[in-house]
Amino acid sequence: METLKIEASIDTPTVLFDFEKGYFELSGKSYPEDTLEFYAPILEKINEYAINPKEKSHLVFKLIYFNSSSYKPILDLIRKMEEIKNMNKFVTIEWQYKTGDTDMKEVGEEFAEVVTVPFSYATF
Amino acid sequence: MAKTGDIFSLIDWMRFLEEENIVMSFKGEFNQELINAILLLSSNKENLNEQSNVIRNRIFSIIVECLQNICKHGADDESRSEIKPGIILISKEGHTVYISTGNLILNDEVDLLKEKINHLKGLNSEEIKALSKKTMLTATLSAKSGAGLGLITIAKKSKKIDYEIKKINEQISFFSLEASISTLVN
């Protein structure tokens, strides 16, 4: 699958999905005017990847901010990783947050509780 | 507002803004571009530019949720759709930032909105966190998500929320929401 790269805009994040390397990254801010319009094609790609995933997949979140309606597509991405893990693949999720942003760290921990994929945390 | 002679007396308006510690105010028709402009302006305001990332993000978050709620759920006085009339006012007193927004809503929506906010007002911060988590986990991805999640997020990020609803006519009411945020990290 060809790498999916979407440059950030003022209200949408940078998306870098390198399917060959099994590396997925979402960074920046996410509060699109139309959440569905932005995330539907991205989720479609990850669903396609999940049919025949690589041995190792690594999902990185490096978000400064996301709004309440971006929560669902983020959760969908995380759940998709869980699905891949259940296919006996090696999956890790890295949750990065701005130094001192304890709210953002907390949301990461909330996501981590929902799945069995191991989360690691780091600040940027 | 006092008018002297033929011109609008802005000095009184300036004094009023200063006395009320108003950092920023805007009245107009909201859309996503305007939300971005307001976010940019507010993040550049010296007295709102908090040192702490968590406080900065809470202010940013409340502005986004309040204004996107207006865009998604606000009513208009006629039947134009894309742009929604509204007002935002940000003030700061000591260690508290107040974000107040106002917009039109349909009278039919008043009871449900009151119920939602009164419920949130009665919860403590731990209960709000739990409700937020529960709601988020069961949310669906849709073009027009329910205002519930936005309101819960506003309550979660603020120290206190309050509101007022005033009937304008048989169809619409004016809804004011005030969220206060402590700038002291907890």
Look up the ipTM and state it: 0.89
The dihedrals phi and psi of A116, each to the nearest 5 degrees, come to -100, -5
Contacts of B4 (CB under 8 A, 6+ apart): none
Residues shown for chain B: 186
Residues of A in contact with B157 (CB under 8 A): 103
What CATH number corresponds to the domain at position A89? 3.30.750
Give the Cα separation of B155 and B62 in Å (integer).
Answer: 9
Mean pLDDT, residues B62-69 taken together: 93
Give the Cα separation of B15 and B17 in Å (integer).
Answer: 5
Instruction: Give the best residue of B36, B57, B70 to mutate against chain A (max A CB count within 10 A).
Output: B57
- Residue from A27, A12, A104 nearest B57 by CA: A104
Centroid of chain to Cα B86: 10
Higher pLDDT, B71 or B157: B157
Give A115 to chain B, closest Cα distance, Å. 12
User: Given CB atoms, is A109 within the 8 Å cutoff of chain B?
Assistant: no
Domains and CATH numbers, chain B: 3-182 (3.30.565.10)
Give the Cα separation of B47 and B64 in Å (integer).
Answer: 19
Answer yes or no: is pLDDT of A5 > 80. Answer: yes
Higher pLDDT, B91 or B149: B91
Q: Do B57 and A64 touch (CB under 8 A)?
A: yes
3 state DSSP class of A40? helix
Work out the angle between the directed axes of helices B53-73 and B32-44 (0-180°, nearest 10).
160
Beta bridge partners of A60: A25, A94
8 Å CB contact between B62 and B50 = no
Domain containing A73 equals: 4-123
Give A25 to chain B, closest Cα distance, Å. 20
Give B106 to chain A, closest Cα distance, Å. 22
Mean pLDDT, residues A76-101 taken together: 95
- Residue from B156, B117, B100 nearest A67 by CA: B156
3 state DSSP class of A109? helix
Q: For a pLDDT cut of 70, what percent of chain B falls above it?
A: 87
Give the Cα separation of B142 and B60 in Å (integer).
Answer: 23
Domains: count for chain A: 1
Average pLDDT, rounded, for chain A: 95
Q: Do B137 and A114 touch (CB under 8 A)?
A: yes
